[in-house]
Amino acid sequence: MKRFFCFFAFAAILAGAVLPQTFGARFEPDPRLDAGIFGESVILPQPFARAALVASGADEAQTERHLQTLGALWEELSPQLKGAGREEEDAEKILSFMYEKFLRKYNFDQTLIDKAMDTGVYNCVSSAIIFMYFCKRADIPVCAEETPRHAFCVIFTEAGPVDVETTNPYGVNPGKKRGKDLGGGKTQWITVPAKDYAGRHKVDDRRVVAMVYNNRIVQLQKKRRNADTVGLAVDAYEVQGRSELSRNDLELCVGNAAADFSASGRDQDAIDFLKSAEERFGRCDNWTKKTQTSWRNLLLEKTNSLPYEQAAAQLDANKENLAPRDFAELKEYLYLLNSQKAAQTQDWPKAIELAQKGLEEFPQSKKLLNFKNIFTQNYAADFHNAAADLFNAGKRDEAVAKIKQGLAALPQNKILLADLQKMQER
């Protein structure tokens, strides 16, 4: 009779592997952000520009220097503007002025205001913010519009709203044909095509500032620096008046950072990190699920490494930290693993005992039932083989005693009952 062994593997499911990194996520907002200005949807020009520079990552000295530069540029620009009733004409002058003075090259990812002013490299967000600052100084009603991949501005005139594509020096009222005097009686006709503005929706000044944070977050995510996104998401959350949208972004950033902990084998750190986040910002279903997953991974490790009694105690003590399904799966696995360990040393009574104990808790478990049957068959095989050797050696009484010993351990076992009957007949 052959002995049967069955091996059961239970693997932790983790996020995509990442290199271990030092985590220093920040839960407190940047102290330079003036919470007093974020209660309203419209922000005055100076605090608007300051908030955008802070969002760009400029330090205090850089922020003050760029604010002074913006102020000096306004002093140069303002005498050229016509004032009330000439909003579209003045918007054209503002946009043209920006390109004459510092905007040079478009780059899809370049959202930072200080970098746009220092290098001339800009994108839709950085150019829109600077344009909005000058419009605010000129008392031109202005707002931003957002699409899934773009941002642009709208000014409000007596004739109605006018779109402004700030990524082009001729972007006021896209689609409008305008002439550029080349001198010598020559004119170049320019038309800026209207962009695809599908999904456009108006956003307030707070959201515009938050776009800078969001772009920085995306760039960090591409580099798998998820912990560094958390502080930026906190700032964006505060800037946007703790809106539902900004809360969702914050939850995502915290969750990604926690996943990095787990992916680098630091599940306890992930648990502590998420606990701190909940203490600071309140409960989040996503964080609860990730915490449960981290507990699952941590307890799976303990289940694999600790003796049965200790692992069982750890599981029971942390039942409330696990999702009910995870607790049941880990507990079933605990019985399977340790019954298999006992079987590997041919400690069949222990293997059968653990499988039976598991079946009492999980009576529907086909795996535990299969283990119990296999180990019982192997245990019976030991008695059968030993008795056969004794019987073949002419030690009939000892062989019968061995079978009876087996039946004492395995009452009503069909293999041993058949063996006893055959021996007694001979």
Q: pLDDT tens for residues 144-166?
A: 999 988 999 999 999 899 999 99
The verdict on 61 and 197 lying in the same domain is: yes
- Which carries the bigger pLDDT value, residue 189 or residue 249? 249
Residue 295 domain-assigned (yes or no): no
The verdict on 198 and 332 lying in the same domain is: no
Q: Give the separation between CA 260 and CA 232, rounded to whole angstroms.
A: 17
pTM listed for this prediction: 0.79
Query: For 345-413, where are the alpha helices, taking DSSP H only?
Result: 348-361, 366-392, 396-409
Query: What is the residue range of 80's domain?
Result: 44-203
Last residue of a domain, one of 152, 180, 203: 203
What is the predicted pLDDT for the residue at 49? 97
Question: What confidence tier does 23 reach under pLDDT thresholds 50, 70, 90?
Answer: low
What is the predicted pLDDT for the residue at 174? 82
> Element (H or E) spanning 338, and its range?
helix 324-344
Last residue of a domain, one of 180, 203, 226: 203
Residue 421 domain-assigned (yes or no): yes
The verdict on 314 and 188 lying in the same domain is: no
Question: CB 183: neighbour CB atoms within 10 A?
Answer: 6
Number of domains, the chain: 2
Last residue of a domain, one of 175, 203, 231: 203
Residue 294 domain-assigned (yes or no): no
Residues of the chain with pLDDT > 90, as a percent, come to 76
Residue 234: both structure tokens together: 């906190």
- Which carries the bigger pLDDT value, residue 196 or residue 224? 224
Residue 262 domain-assigned (yes or no): no
DSSP conformation class of 168: S
Residue 91 domain-assigned (yes or no): yes
What is the predicted pLDDT for the residue at 118? 96
The CATH number of residue 337's host domain is: 1.25.40
What is the predicted pLDDT for the residue at 114? 97
Q: pLDDT tens for residues 306-317?
A: 999 999 999 999
Q: pLDDT tens for residues 340-375?
A: 999 999 999 999 999 999 999 999 999 999 999 999
The CATH number of residue 82's host domain is: 3.10.620
Q: Give the separation between CA 80 and CA 135, rounded to whole angstroms.
A: 13
Instruction: For the chain, give the number of residues.
Output: 426
Residue 23 domain-assigned (yes or no): no
CA angle, corner 184, sides to 179 and 187, nearest 5?
Answer: 15
CA torsion 249-253-258-264 (nearest 10°) is 150
The distance in angstroms from the start CA to the end CA of the chain is 21
Q: Concatenated DSSP letters for 128-148?
A: HHHHHHHHHHTT--EEEEEET
Mean per-residue pLDDT over the chain, rounded: 89
Residue 32 domain-assigned (yes or no): no
Residue 209 domain-assigned (yes or no): no
